[in-house]
Amino acid sequence: GDLATLDTHRTLRVGMPEVVLAESKTAAQVAAIARTLAARGPLLVTRLSPAKAGPARRAVKGSVYDPVSRTLRKGRMDLPARGPVAVCCAGTSDIPVCEEAAVTLEVMGVEPIRVYDVGVAGIHRLLARRDDLERARAVIVAAGMEGALPSVVGGLVGRPVIGVPTSVGYGASLGGLAPLFTMLNSCAPNVTVVNVDNGFGAAFVAGLVARG
Amino acid sequence: GDLATLDTHRTLRVGMPEVVLAESKTAAQVAAIARTLAARGPLLVTRLSPAKAGPARRAVKGSVYDPVSRTLRKGRMDLPARGPVAVCCAGTSDIPVCEEAAVTLEVMGVEPIRVYDVGVAGIHRLLARRDDLERARAVIVAAGMEGALPSVVGGLVGRPVIGVPTSVGYGASLGGLAPLFTMLNSCAPNVTVVNVDNGFGAAFVAGLVARG
Amino acid sequence: GDLATLDTHRTLRVGMPEVVLAESKTAAQVAAIARTLAARGPLLVTRLSPAKAGPARRAVKGSVYDPVSRTLRKGRMDLPARGPVAVCCAGTSDIPVCEEAAVTLEVMGVEPIRVYDVGVAGIHRLLARRDDLERARAVIVAAGMEGALPSVVGGLVGRPVIGVPTSVGYGASLGGLAPLFTMLNSCAPNVTVVNVDNGFGAAFVAGLVARG
Amino acid sequence: GDLATLDTHRTLRVGMPEVVLAESKTAAQVAAIARTLAARGPLLVTRLSPAKAGPARRAVKGSVYDPVSRTLRKGRMDLPARGPVAVCCAGTSDIPVCEEAAVTLEVMGVEPIRVYDVGVAGIHRLLARRDDLERARAVIVAAGMEGALPSVVGGLVGRPVIGVPTSVGYGASLGGLAPLFTMLNSCAPNVTVVNVDNGFGAAFVAGLVARG
Amino acid sequence: GDLATLDTHRTLRVGMPEVVLAESKTAAQVAAIARTLAARGPLLVTRLSPAKAGPARRAVKGSVYDPVSRTLRKGRMDLPARGPVAVCCAGTSDIPVCEEAAVTLEVMGVEPIRVYDVGVAGIHRLLARRDDLERARAVIVAAGMEGALPSVVGGLVGRPVIGVPTSVGYGASLGGLAPLFTMLNSCAPNVTVVNVDNGFGAAFVAGLVARG
Amino acid sequence: GDLATLDTHRTLRVGMPEVVLAESKTAAQVAAIARTLAARGPLLVTRLSPAKAGPARRAVKGSVYDPVSRTLRKGRMDLPARGPVAVCCAGTSDIPVCEEAAVTLEVMGVEPIRVYDVGVAGIHRLLARRDDLERARAVIVAAGMEGALPSVVGGLVGRPVIGVPTSVGYGASLGGLAPLFTMLNSCAPNVTVVNVDNGFGAAFVAGLVARG
Amino acid sequence: GDLATLDTHRTLRVGMPEVVLAESKTAAQVAAIARTLAARGPLLVTRLSPAKAGPARRAVKGSVYDPVSRTLRKGRMDLPARGPVAVCCAGTSDIPVCEEAAVTLEVMGVEPIRVYDVGVAGIHRLLARRDDLERARAVIVAAGMEGALPSVVGGLVGRPVIGVPTSVGYGASLGGLAPLFTMLNSCAPNVTVVNVDNGFGAAFVAGLVARG
Amino acid sequence: GDLATLDTHRTLRVGMPEVVLAESKTAAQVAAIARTLAARGPLLVTRLSPAKAGPARRAVKGSVYDPVSRTLRKGRMDLPARGPVAVCCAGTSDIPVCEEAAVTLEVMGVEPIRVYDVGVAGIHRLLARRDDLERARAVIVAAGMEGALPSVVGGLVGRPVIGVPTSVGYGASLGGLAPLFTMLNSCAPNVTVVNVDNGFGAAFVAGLVARG
Ligand SMILES: Nc1ncnc2c1ncn2[C@@H]1O[C@H](COP(=O)(O)O)[C@@H](O)[C@H]1O
Ligand SMILES: Nc1ncnc2c1ncn2[C@@H]1O[C@H](COP(=O)(O)O)[C@@H](O)[C@H]1O
Ligand SMILES: Nc1ncnc2c1ncn2[C@@H]1O[C@H](COP(=O)(O)O)[C@@H](O)[C@H]1O
Ligand SMILES: Nc1ncnc2c1ncn2[C@@H]1O[C@H](COP(=O)(O)O)[C@@H](O)[C@H]1O
Ligand SMILES: [Mg+2]
Ligand SMILES: [Mg+2]
Ligand SMILES: [Mg+2]
Ligand SMILES: [Mg+2]
Ligand SMILES: [Mg+2]
Ligand SMILES: [Mg+2]
Ligand SMILES: [Mg+2]
Ligand SMILES: [Mg+2]
C-alpha cells in the first residue's frame, strides 16, 4: 500500500539489508517499514528520536531502542568478520555519532572497540590506547570543531581510517563543514571521509573492510 | 643536509614507504629525496610534472616516469593482496587521476582493473562492466562535473567504494567542490570520499582493503 | 483595498493565471487574493500550510486543499496538451516537492506520470520504469542529497529534463545547494535546473513544453 | 585504439549525436574523435580554441570553424522544428556564449533569432524587440554581472526561458555564480537555468522544445 | 546607570540623533534608552517587535508604534529637504522593509513616495510609475529573490538608487545574499547597496541626499 | 556595423553619457566605440590597460590616457556641482581605484579631494584630514584587507559615504569579499557599498549627490 | 563512572585547570563534572544557560552563577600577573562575550579593565579611554557587524590584541564570519583572532600573556 | 615626493618601526621607502620577490636579502626579550612562511627556535622536540592542508600558540581557508590565529609576548 518501494535485492547485492533513515518519516511510516524489514532479516533504524520510537518498537517484537545512538535494532547478520573495528572520538559530545557507528557494526556482526574522549589537545590519552587501535581492521574517528583526530590516528595505524566530521562546535565550525574539510585535507594517506554526523555510513564501510 | 626529516618508521607503521608529493618541491629536492628513499625500498613520486622529472629519473636508476599519471616509480611492495581493485571514471578527462591511482596500486602490489569513460549519462556503459566491478575487493570511482558515478557504482557492489572528485568542469563545478559534495551526500552507504584529484589517497586506502 | 496589485494580463501573456505563493502571507491575505483570482479563472495556491489553509478554502467554494503538496486549487485550464509529463523522485522524502509539481501540471491541464522512489543507488528501479519516461513530453526529476538522478534520466530520454534539487539531506547537502550544483554540472545536455524545492516552477516549464 | 568509448546509441536515444567538448582534449584527440563522428552524421565541436582548431578542421573536410563561438561544425540534423528560438544577451561581452548557442541550434536544424545587447539598465532596448521574442518557441537569455535579464524576458513571453549565467563581471560576480543565483531565484516561473557559460546546453534544451 | 554610553554629539556630527536598534535589547532597556533620547529630540526605534514595544511606547508619551515597519517614533527633524524620496519594492513580502525606510524618511523630515509591488517579471507595472520615480531626489529599491529591480530602476532615473536586498525567498536566495550580490553587480552605475533588510540605512542615506 | 547598440538616450536619462568598460573588449573595438561616443560629448573609457590604450587614444584627438587609473578621457560635462567629493583610501595599494574615481568625478565636472593612505591602524592620519572631509558633499572610501575605513569616516561626517572594497590583500581577504562584507555591515548608517574595485560606480553616485 | 575522562595533568601542563564547556552537556553532567573539578582547584564553567545552572551551583558550595556571562565559577588561581588585561567592545550587544572573557581573567587571577561600547563609528569614545588601554598587558577586543575595532585598537597600543568576532549582526554579517574575516585581514600587525563569540579563549591567551 | 605618508610615530606607539609589505609595490617604490626607513632604525621588508629585491638591497648598504623568507633586512631592535619563540611547521612546504616569521623575530631582537617538518601524521617527530617547545615564551605553528598541528602543540605547552594557516594544499584546502578554520576551531584554548601565510604577523605578536 503506502510503503516505499523497498530495495529487496539489496542484501544480496551490497551485503546488508536496507537500513531505515527515520529522520523524514512519521512514526507510523517507520513502524510499517520496520515490521516489513524485520520479517526478512536483521533490522536497523537510525536517526529515530525518542518521541517517534514507540510505534516501531512495539511493531517489532524483540527490537531494542537506544536513545544515545537513536537507533532501533533487532538481530544481527552472521557473516564472519576477520577482526574488530575501533570507534574513536575527540570529545564526549561526539559520542552519539560514535554509538550510531558502534550499533551499526554490531548489527553487521562486527565487534566495535570504543576509544572515546581522546582528542588531540591531550595527545597522551590517544597514545595510551594504541594497542586497541592496532588490533582493529579499520578505525572510525569522529571529531567536531577542528576535526584533527583522524590525521593523528592515521599516522599511528596501517589500516583504513574513516573520518566522521561532527556538527559539534560553533562559529567557524560551520555546522561541521570545518572538520569535514580538515579530514579531506589529511596528510595521512589512509583517511577517507563521510558526511557530517554520518556514523552509520562510516560503520558500514568499516564493517565491509572487517569482513574482507 | 637540506633534506626533510624523513619519516623512516612509516613502512612498519602504515604499510607503505613515504610517498613524495613533488608539487611544491624543486627538481633537485625531489631527486635527492627520491635517491634516499629508493635506497630503502620501493619508490613512488606523485604530482611530478614532465619538466621537473629528469633529475629524479636520472638519480634513481631503473625508475620509470609516466607523464599521464605524472608519477615516477621503481619497484613494488611484495605484500600479498587478496584481489584486485577496480578504478573507474566518468569521462576521459578524469583519466590522469585514475592513472595516479592505478600506479599507486601497482607499487603497493595490487592489481588495478581499469573501467574508464562509463559516466552516468550513458548508464549502459557501466552496466556492461559489472563483472569487472564484482570481482574487485574495493572500487575507486573518479568523477568531475556532477560526480554522480560513485553513487551508482555503490548501488551495484558490496565492497567499499572510494569516490575521488576531480577538478574537471567549469562554473558551478567550483573547481571540484561540487562533485566532492555530491559524493559526500551519496545515498549509497558504501561510499567514502577523498580530496579533489587525490588518486593517490584513494588507491592507498583501496590497497589496504585489498591486502586485508 | 489592501490587496496586492494583481498582474491581470498574466494569463494572456504567459499562459497561466497568477499563482499565489502563500508562504509569506497571512491566512486572511491568502483568502482575499484567492477569492479574487478564483472569480476569473483556475486557482492555484502553493506553499500553504494546513494551519493557514482554512480561510482560503472556505472563501473559494469548490476549492480542494491537499496537505502533502500543500496546495489549494480549483479548476484547470483547458488548453490542449500534446502529451504527459513524468514526475520522478529519488526518495520518499522528495514526494511533497513532486506533488507540488503534479498538482501544478493538473491545473495547467497536463497529465502527470508519477515515478517515485527510483534513486540511483538502486538503478534497476529506474530502468524498470523506462516506458513511462519515454512517453513523456518532458521529465521533472526531484532529488536531494547527492542529486544525481537527473543526469541518469537525462541519458535515457530525448526530452527536456528539469531538475529540482530538494532540501532533503544533512551536513554536506547544504540545505539543497549540493544537489543544486550537482544538477547544474550535469553531463547530460538536456538538463536544466530550478531553485531548491521549486516543484511549481519545474511543472510550469514542463507544462509549457507539453502544450507545445 | 586510444579513442574514448563513443556513446553511439546517443542519437537514437536523445535526438542528437555526441557533441565534443574540446576543452580538456589535445588537438590530435579532437581531430581523431571529430573524424569518427563526422563519418556518421552532423558534427559539432565546442570550446575549441583557435590554437587547437587546425587539425580537426583539416581532418573533417567541409567543416567550418568559427572563432567567436569557438565551434567547429559540419552538417545539420534534418528533424523538423515547429519554430525558431530567440537568443538574447545583456551585453556585448556575452556574445560568445550566445553564438555557441546559436551554432548549436543551427546544427540541430532550428533557426536562432539573435537579440543582443538588450540589458535591463536600458530596458527600452528589450521592449523594442518584443515581436522577435514572441514568435520564438523558447528563449535563451545569457547575462553576466547581475543576471537580471531572464526575469524580465520571462515576464514578457509565455514560453520556456532558459537562463545562461555568464562569467562576465568581476568582484561580487563570483565568476558567474552571482548571475547563476539571480536566475535560480527568478520570480518569473518560466525560467530554468544551466551552468555558467553553457550556451551549448541551453541551446540543446531549447532545440528539443522547438522540435516538439 | 546601566544605560549604554549614548553618542550625544551625533546629531551635530551626522545630522540625525542616535537611532535605537531594538533587536538585541530587552523591552526595559529599549524603554529606558527611548525615554532619554526622546527628551532631547526626535525619536526612532527600529526592529522593535510588537511583543517588546509596550514599555517603550508607554515610556515616551506621544510616541507611535507601527507593527508593519516594527518602528516606534516621535517627532521629526525640521531640516529642509529639496524633494521626496521614492521607496520601491518588487513584491508584497518586501513591504515591511520599505515601511522601515519610509518611516525613517518621515522622521528625517523627507517625504517618501511609495511604489510597491512592481517587480521585474511584470515590467509594465514599474513603467506605469515612471513619473513618481522621476520627481524623486533618490530612489530606494527593496527586492528579495533575484533582486533585479534596482538595475531596471537605475536605468530609468538620473538619481542615486539605493538597493536593499531582502531576505524574502528560499533555497538559492541564501537568506538575502543572492539579491545582495545581484545588486552589487548592477550594470546600472547609479546603484549602491546596503545590508540585507536594512531599510533604515537605505533611508538614512537617501534622506541625506534629499536634504542636499 | 559591428558596434554594440549604444544607449544613446542615456545622457538625458541618467545624466552621464555611456562610459566604456574596456576590460572585455579588443583595442579595435574600444577605439571604434570611443570615436563614436567622443563625437557626441565627453568621453570616459575605464579599465583600459596600457597595452590596449594606443588605438583609442589615437582615434580620439585630444584624449588623455592615464596609466594609474587606467582611463582614457576627453572633455567634461558642464553641469554645476554644489561642492567637491572627497576620495579616501586606507593604503597606497588602493590608489588606482581612487584615481579611477577621481577621474570619473572630473569628467562629471565635480572636484575630487584626494585623502590617501589614512588607514585605521594609524587613526591620527585620518583625523588630521577632518577639514577636507567636512567640506565634501559626499565621501568615497576605498579599502582592501579589513575594509574598516568607511565605518570610521562615516562616524565623522554627515554626508553619504560610499565604500569601495578593493581586492588588495591575500588569504582571508577573499579577493575583496572580506572588505565588501565589512562595509555592508557598517554600524555607521551613512555608508552604502559598490562592487569590489568599482571606483567608477562610486564616483558616479557621489557625483550625482554633489550635483544635487 | 559515566564521567568524561578528565585531563588531570592539564593544570601542570597548560597553567589552567580544565574548563567546562556546558553547551552540549546535560545539567546533571555539568553538576557531576563541576563537583569533581572543584574538589581539585578553581572551577570555571562556561556557556551555562540559566535553565541548566541550578544543579551545578548547588553541587559546588560557594560557586557563583552569572547570567550575563553565563558562567559558574569558584575560586581563582594564585599565579602572579604582571598587569591587567583590557576587555573592549564595540556595542552593548557584545557585552556577554566580554563578560565571559572578564570572568575567565578573574579566575586566572588577572585583573580585567572593562572598556565597553566604544565602536569605530564614534571614534572619540575609544580615544577617551586611551590610558586604560595603555596600562594593559594585552587587549581583548570583541566586535560584531563589521568587526573593525581591533584594527583601530591595534594601531593605538604596543601589546598583543586578541580579536573576538561576535555573532551580533544580520544578513551580510554571516553569523559572525564577516567580523572574523575583518579581523584576520587586520592591517595592524599585533592582532590575532579566535573563534566567533569565544570570549573564554581570548581571555585564556590574554591571561597567559599577562602572567608572562 | 611620491612616497607614502609614513607612520613615523609607530615605533614609539607599537614597539616596532613600520614594516614594508612589498607585494603591491614596484622595485623603485620599495627601494625609496626602504632607504627612508633604514635611515631611522632597523629595516624589514617582507614579500619581496628575488626579481624585485635588487634596487632596495643596493639602496640600503648593509642590508641582507633572503630568498626563502623573501625578506630584506638590516639591523635589529635592542629591546630585551625574556626568552625565545619556537617556530614550528608541519611540512617542508611551510618553511618559507616559518622563515618569514623567524626573520621578523630576529629583527625584533627575539631568538627563534626552528622546529620544522613535525606534522601530526607522524606525531613522534613532534614529541621528540618537546624540550624546545617548553623553553619558548610563545610558539608559532604554521600548517597547510588540514592545519591540525597547532591544536596538538597547544595541548603540550602552557604558552600562547599562534597558528598560521598556509596555502599549501589543493582542492578542499581552499587556498588556506581549510587550515584557517581548523585553527579557529581548535579545542586547545591557547591558540589564536592570523591570516593565511602571515608569518610576519604571527612573529610580531609572538615577539611582543616574548618581550613581555
Ligand atoms: N598525490 C598526492 N596527493 C595527496 N597526498 C600525497 C600525494 N602524494 C604523496 N602524498 C602524501 O604527502 C606526504 C608527503 O608530504 P611531504 O613531507 O611534504 O613530502 C606523503 O607521505 C604522502 O602521504
Ligand atoms: N511554490 C512556488 N515557488 C516559487 N514561486 C512561486 C511558487 N508559487 C507561486 N510562485 C510565483 O510567485 C508569484 C507570486 O508572488 P506574489 O506576488 O508575492 O504572490 C507567482 O506569480 C508565481 O510566479
Ligand atoms: N570601471 C567600471 N566598473 C563598473 N562598471 C563600469 C565601469 N566602466 C563602465 N561601466 C559600466 O558598464 C557599462 C558599459 O557596458 P558595455 O555595454 O559592456 O560597454 C557602462 O554603461 C557603465 O555603466
Ligand atoms: N608579510 C606581511 N603580511 C601582512 N602584513 C604585513 C606584512 N609585512 C608588512 N605588513 C604590514 O603592512 C603594513 C604596511 O602597509 P603599506 O602602508 O601598504 O606598506 C605594515 O605596517 C605592516 O604592519
Ligand atoms: Mg574532554
Ligand atoms: Mg565520453
Ligand atoms: Mg527508498
Ligand atoms: Mg552596452
Ligand atoms: Mg505579486
Ligand atoms: Mg602605509
Ligand atoms: Mg551604542
Ligand atoms: Mg614530510
Taking an 8 Å cut-off on Cβ atoms, the answer to whether G93 and E24 are in contact is: yes
pLDDT digit string, tens, across residues A93-105: 999 999 999 999 9
Q: How confident is the model at residue F13 (pLDDT cuts 50, 70, 90)?
A: low
Q: What is the Å distance from ligand 12's center to B36 Cα? A: 13
Judged against a pLDDT cut of 90, whether residue A79 lies above it is answered with no
Atom in ligand 3 nearest the alpha carbon of residue F47: 1
Q: What is the Å distance from ligand 8's center to E85 Cα? A: 28
Q: How many Å separate Cα E43 from the centre of its chain?
A: 15
Using a CB-CB cut-off of 8 Å, the residues of chain H touching A156 are: 123
Q: How confident is the model at residue E1 (pLDDT cuts 50, 70, 90)?
A: very low
| Burial of H12 per CB tally in 10 Å (0-12, 13-18, 19+) | exposed
H202 vs G17: which has the higher pLDDT: H202
Q: How confident is the model at residue G16 (pLDDT cuts 50, 70, 90)?
A: confident
pLDDT digit string, tens, across residues G34-47: 999 999 999 999 99
Tell me the C-alpha distance between A42 and A29, whole Å.
Answer: 18
Question: Which chains sit next to G, with 3 or more Cβ pairs under 8 A?
Answer: A, E, F, H
Atom in ligand 2 nearest the alpha carbon of residue C18: 21
For residue D44, the surrounding DSSP H or E stretch is: strand D43-46
How many CB atoms lie under 10 A from the CB of residue F125? Answer: 18
Tell me the C-alpha distance between E71 and E69, whole Å.
Answer: 5
Taking an 8 Å cut-off on Cβ atoms, the answer to whether D212 and C208 are in contact is: no
CA-nearest of D49, D2, C163 to B121 is: C163
Taking an 8 Å cut-off on Cβ atoms, the answer to whether B158 and A208 are in contact is: yes
Taking an 8 Å cut-off on Cβ atoms, the answer to whether D122 and F7 are in contact is: yes
3 state SS of G115: strand
C-alpha pair distances (Å), G155 with each of F119, F151, F182, G160: 10, 16, 18, 11
pTM more than 0.80:
yes
Q: How confident is the model at residue G59 (pLDDT cuts 50, 70, 90)?
A: very high
Mean pLDDT of chain G: 92
CB–CB of H55/H27 below 8 Å? yes
Mean pLDDT of chain B: 92
3 state SS of B65: strand
Q: How confident is the model at residue G3 (pLDDT cuts 50, 70, 90)?
A: very low
Nearest CA residue ID for atom 3, ligand 1: B198
Nearest to F24 among D93, D118, D122 (CB): D93
CA-nearest of F119, G162, G156 to H10 is: G156
Which sign, positive or negative, has the C-alpha torsion A169, A172, A174, A176?
negative
Judged against a pLDDT cut of 80, whether residue H27 lies above it is answered with yes
* Rounded mean pLDDT, C173-199: 97
Q: How confident is the model at residue H5 (pLDDT cuts 50, 70, 90)?
A: low
* Rounded mean pLDDT, G58-73: 98
Instruction: Extract the C-alpha cell encoding A176.
Output: 561541521
Judged against a pLDDT cut of 50, whether residue G116 lies above it is answered with yes
Q: How confident is the model at residue E3 (pLDDT cuts 50, 70, 90)?
A: very low
Q: How many CA atoms lie within 13 A of E144 on its CB side?
A: 25
The β-bridge partners of A74 are A43
| Burial of E90 per CB tally in 10 Å (0-12, 13-18, 19+) | buried
Radius of gyration, alpha carbons of chain C = 17
Q: What is the Å distance from ligand 8's center to F3 Cα? A: 10
Buried b (16+ CB within 10 A) or exposed e, H92-107: bbbbbbbbbbbbbbbb
Helix axes of A27-38 and A50-59: crossing angle, nearest 10 degrees:
40
Judged against a pLDDT cut of 70, whether residue F206 lies above it is answered with yes
pLDDT digit string, tens, across residues F96-123: 999 999 999 999 999 999 999 999 888 9
* Rounded mean pLDDT, B32-54: 95
Judged against a pLDDT cut of 70, whether residue E73 lies above it is answered with yes
Q: What are phi and psi of D155, to 5 degrees?
A: -80, -10
Judged against a pLDDT cut of 60, whether residue C123 lies above it is answered with yes
* CA closest to E182 among chain D residues: D146
Residues of chain D with confidence (pLDDT) below 50? 1-4
* Rounded mean pLDDT, E70-81: 93
Looking at residue D5, its pLDDT comes to: 52
Q: Which amino acid is at G166?
A: T
* Rounded mean pLDDT, A88-94: 93
CA-nearest of C64, C74, C14 to C43 is: C74
Nearest to G196 among A116, A124, A172 (CB): A172
Residue indicated by cell numbers 561616443: F37
CA-nearest of F110, F71, F72, F79 to F12 is: F79
Show the ligand 2 pocket: residues with CB < 6 angstroms: C 4, 18-21, 46-47, 198, 200-201; D 187, 189; E 91-93
Looking at residue F181, its pLDDT comes to: 98
CB–CB of H148/H120 below 8 Å? yes
Q: What is the Å distance from ligand 8's center to F94 Cα? A: 28
CA-nearest of G87, G201, G188 to G142 is: G87
pLDDT digit string, tens, across residues H159-190: 999 999 999 999 999 999 999 999 999 999 99
Nearest CA residue ID for atom 17, ligand 4: F91
Tell me the C-alpha distance between F3 and G127, whole Å.
Answer: 57
* Rounded mean pLDDT, H36-41: 93
CB–CB of D106/D76 below 8 Å? yes
DSSP state, residue H83: S
Show the ligand 1 pocket: residues with CB < 6 angstroms: A 187, 189; B 4, 18-21, 46-47, 198, 200-201; H 91-93
Atom in ligand 4 nearest the alpha carbon of residue H204: 23
Q: How many Å separate Cα B26 from the centre of its chain?
A: 22
Q: What are phi and psi of E78, to 5 degrees?
A: -115, 40
Tell me the C-alpha distance between B101 and B194, whole Å.
Answer: 12
pLDDT digit string, tens, across residues H83-139: 999 999 998 899 999 999 999 999 999 999 999 999 988 899 999 999 999 999 999
